[in-house]
Chain A
Amino acid sequence: MNNLNETASKIVETAMRLGASEVTAWASQGTWTDVKQRDGRIEKWQDSQSCSASAAFFVNDRYSVHSTNDLRSDALEQFIGRAIEATRHLEPDSDRRLADPDVMGTHQDSSLDQVDNSPPEIDHRTWVDAVQTATSAAIPKNLRSVEGFVWSGSSEQVMVTSNGFSGGTATTEFGHGADISMEDSDGRLPEAADWAVSRHHSDLLNVERISQRAANRAKRRLGSGPVSSRRGAMLVENRVASRILGTLVSPMHGGSIYEQRSCLSDKLGKQIASSAFSLIDDPHIPRGLGSRPHDGDGRPTSKRDLVTDGVLQTWLLNVYYARRLELEPTTSSTSNLLVPASQHSPMELIADLPWAIQVDGFLGGNSNPATGKYSFGIRGTLYEKGEAVAPISEMNITGSIFDLLAGYIGAANDPWNSGSCRSPSLLFDDVQFSGQ
Chain B
Amino acid sequence: MSIQRPNGPAGSYFASLGVSTEVLQQVLNAALSRGGDDCDLYFEHVNSTSVSLTDGKVNQASTHVSLGMGVRVRMGDQVGYAYSEDLSPKALQTAARTAAGIANSAVQRKVATPVAIDLPNHYPVALPWDDVGIQHRVELVRKWEKAAFEADEQVQRVEVSLADAAKVIMVVRPDGRLVEDWRPMTRASVRCTAEGLGADGAMVRESSGYNVAGRAGLEFLDDDRQERLVNEAVARTVFLLDAISPSPGEMPVVLAAGPSAILLHEAIGHGMEADFNRKRISIYADKMNQNIANDQVTIVDDGTIDGARGSLNIDDEGNRTERTVLVENGILRSYMHDELSASHYGIKPTGSGRRQSFRHAPLPRMRSTVMEPGPHDPQEIIESVDQGIYCVSFANGAVHIGGGDFSFYMKTGYLIENGKLTKPIKDVNIIGNGPEALARIDMVGNDLEIDEGGWTCGKDGQSVPVSQGMPTVRVSSLVVGGEQA
Q: CA of A189 to CA of B271 in the docked complex: distance in angstroms? A: 11
CB-CB under 8 A from A366, the residues of chain B are 395-396, 409, 427, 429
**Which one of B118-126, B277-285, B341-349, B443-451 is at the A interface?**
B277-285
**9 A-B pairs, CB-CB below 8 angstroms?**
A45-B78, A90-B51, A189-B281, A260-B205, A363-B398, A364-B398, A375-B482, A394-B432, A434-B479
CB-CB under 8 A from B250, the residues of chain A are 435-436
Q: CA of A96 to CA of B58 in the docked complex: distance in angstroms? A: 13
Known: A79-B65, A396-B481, A434-B482. A364 touches B429 (CB 8 A): yes
**Which one of B176-184, B370-378, B400-408 is at the A interface?**
B400-408
B66 CB, nearest partner CB in chain A, Å: 6
Candidates B79, B281, B431; contact of A363 at CB < 8 Å: B431
Q: CA of A46 to CA of B460 in the docked complex: distance in angstroms? A: 13
Q: Which residues of A (383-411) have their CB < 8 Å from a CB of B?
A: 393-399
Q: Report yes or no: B403 in contact with A393, Cβ–Cβ below 8 A.
A: yes
A40 CB, nearest partner CB in chain B, Å: 12
Candidates A62, A191, A376; contact of B429 at CB < 8 Å: A376
Q: Which residues of B (47-88) have their CB < 8 Å from a CB of A?
A: 49, 51, 54-55, 57-68, 77-85
Closest-by-CB residue of B relative to A224 is B403
Q: CA of A397 to CA of B428 in the docked complex: distance in angstroms? A: 9
**Which one of B130-138, B300-308, B381-389, B414-422 is at the A interface?**
B130-138
Q: Report yes or no: B248 in contact with A41, Cβ–Cβ below 8 A.
A: no
Candidates A93, A259, A397; contact of B157 at CB < 8 Å: A259
B221 interface residue per 8 A CB criterion: no
**Which one of A2-10, A80-88, A309-317, A345-353 is at the B interface?**
A80-88
Candidates B66, B79, B427, B431; contact of A394 at CB < 8 Å: B431
Render B272-290 as a binary contact track against A, CB cut-off 8 A, 1 for contact.
0000000111110110000
A65, A188, A221 interface centre (most CB from chain B within 10 Å)? A188
A51 interface residue per 8 A CB criterion: yes
Candidates A46, A63, A396, A436; contact of B428 at CB < 8 Å: A396
B484 interface residue per 8 A CB criterion: yes
CB-CB under 8 A from A70, the residues of chain B are 65-67, 85
B275 CB, nearest partner CB in chain A, Å: 10
Q: Report yes or no: A377 in contact with B429, Cβ–Cβ below 8 A.
A: yes
CB-CB under 8 A from A147, the residues of chain B are 279
CB-CB under 8 A from B77, the residues of chain A are 41, 43
B98 CB, nearest partner CB in chain A, Å: 5
B169 CB, nearest partner CB in chain A, Å: 16
Q: Report yes or no: A396 in contact with B479, Cβ–Cβ below 8 A.
A: yes
Q: CA of A44 to CA of B79 in the docked complex: distance in angstroms? A: 5
CB-CB under 8 A from A190, the residues of chain B are 400, 402-403
A168 CB, nearest partner CB in chain B, Å: 21
Q: CA of A375 to CA of B81 in the docked complex: distance in angstroms? A: 39
CB-CB under 8 A from A434, the residues of chain B are 248-249, 479-482
B159 interface residue per 8 A CB criterion: yes
B475 CB, nearest partner CB in chain A, Å: 14
Closest-by-CB residue of A relative to B400 is A191
Candidates A38, A52, A365; contact of B279 at CB < 8 Å: A38
CB-CB under 8 A from B484, the residues of chain A are 231, 432
Known: A50-B359, A68-B66, A189-B402. A370 touches B279 (CB 8 A): no
CB-CB under 8 A from A41, the residues of chain B are 77-78
A142 interface residue per 8 A CB criterion: no
Closest-by-CB residue of B relative to A258 is B55
B29 interface residue per 8 A CB criterion: no
Q: Report yes or no: B249 in contact with A66, Cβ–Cβ below 8 A.
A: no
Q: Report yes or no: B279 in contact with A145, Cβ–Cβ below 8 A.
A: yes
CB-CB under 8 A from A433, the residues of chain B are 248
Q: CA of A261 to CA of B245 in the docked complex: distance in angstroms? A: 19
Q: CA of A68 to CA of B62 in the docked complex: distance in angstroms? A: 11
B406 CB, nearest partner CB in chain A, Å: 7
Known: A50-B359, A67-B64, A370-B206. A91 touches B58 (CB 8 A): yes
A153 CB, nearest partner CB in chain B, Å: 13
B321 interface residue per 8 A CB criterion: no
**What's the interface size class on A, roughly?**
35 or more
A47 interface residue per 8 A CB criterion: yes
Closest-by-CB residue of A relative to B84 is A49
CB-CB under 8 A from B432, the residues of chain A are 394
Q: Report yes or no: B431 in contact with A377, Cβ–Cβ below 8 A.
A: yes
Q: CA of A379 to CA of B399 in the docked complex: distance in angstroms? A: 12
Q: Report yes or no: B83 in contact with A48, Cβ–Cβ below 8 A.
A: yes
B101 interface residue per 8 A CB criterion: yes
Closest-by-CB residue of B relative to A397 is B481
Candidates B285, B397, B426, B479; contact of A364 at CB < 8 Å: B397
Known: A68-B66, A261-B205, A396-B431. A48 touches B85 (CB 8 A): no
B157 CB, nearest partner CB in chain A, Å: 5
CB-CB under 8 A from A48, the residues of chain B are 82-83, 359
CB-CB under 8 A from A49, the residues of chain B are 83-85
Q: Report yes or no: A191 in contact with B409, Cβ–Cβ below 8 A.
A: no
Q: CA of A260 to CA of B206 in the docked complex: distance in angstroms? A: 9
Candidates A43, A145, A432, A436; contact of B281 at CB < 8 Å: A145
Candidates A89, A368, A436; contact of B427 at CB < 8 Å: A368
Q: Report yes or no: B280 in contact with A144, Cβ–Cβ below 8 A.
A: yes
B156 interface residue per 8 A CB criterion: yes
Closest-by-CB residue of B relative to A376 is B429
| 6 cross-chain pairs, A with B, having the tightest CB-CB distances, nearest first | A434-B248, A396-B481, A364-B398, A189-B402, A364-B407, A261-B207
CB-CB under 8 A from A398, the residues of chain B are 245, 248, 428-429, 481-483
Q: Report yes or no: B482 in contact with A93, Cβ–Cβ below 8 A.
A: no
CB-CB under 8 A from A364, the residues of chain B are 266, 396-399, 406-409, 429, 431
B153 CB, nearest partner CB in chain A, Å: 16
Q: CA of A96 to CA of B205 in the docked complex: distance in angstroms? A: 28
A25 CB, nearest partner CB in chain B, Å: 14
Closest-by-CB residue of B relative to A225 is B433
Q: Report yes or no: B427 in contact with A67, Cβ–Cβ below 8 A.
A: no
Q: Report yes or no: B429 in contact with A375, Cβ–Cβ below 8 A.
A: yes
Known: A51-B85, A66-B63, A397-B481. A363 touches B207 (CB 8 A): no
Render A92-132 as a binary contact track against B, CB cut-off 8 A, 1 for contact.
11001000000000000000000000000000000000000
Q: Report yes or no: A46 in contact with B204, Cβ–Cβ below 8 A.
A: no
A181 interface residue per 8 A CB criterion: yes
Q: CA of A62 to CA of B135 in the docked complex: distance in angstroms? A: 14
Q: CA of A10 to CA of B240 in the docked complex: distance in angstroms? A: 49
A340 interface residue per 8 A CB criterion: no
Known: A45-B101, A68-B66, A377-B405. A90 touches B59 (CB 8 A): yes
CB-CB under 8 A from A226, the residues of chain B are 479
Known: A96-B59, A145-B280. A399 touches B81 (CB 8 A): no
Q: Report yes or no: A436 in contact with B479, Cβ–Cβ below 8 A.
A: yes
Q: Report yes or no: B83 in contact with A83, Cβ–Cβ below 8 A.
A: no
Render B127-157 as a binary contact track against A, CB cut-off 8 A, 1 for contact.
0000001110010000000000000000011
Q: Report yes or no: A371 in contact with B204, Cβ–Cβ below 8 A.
A: yes
B1 interface residue per 8 A CB criterion: yes
Render A26-41 as a binary contact track against B, CB cut-off 8 A, 1 for contact.
0000000000001001
B467 CB, nearest partner CB in chain A, Å: 20
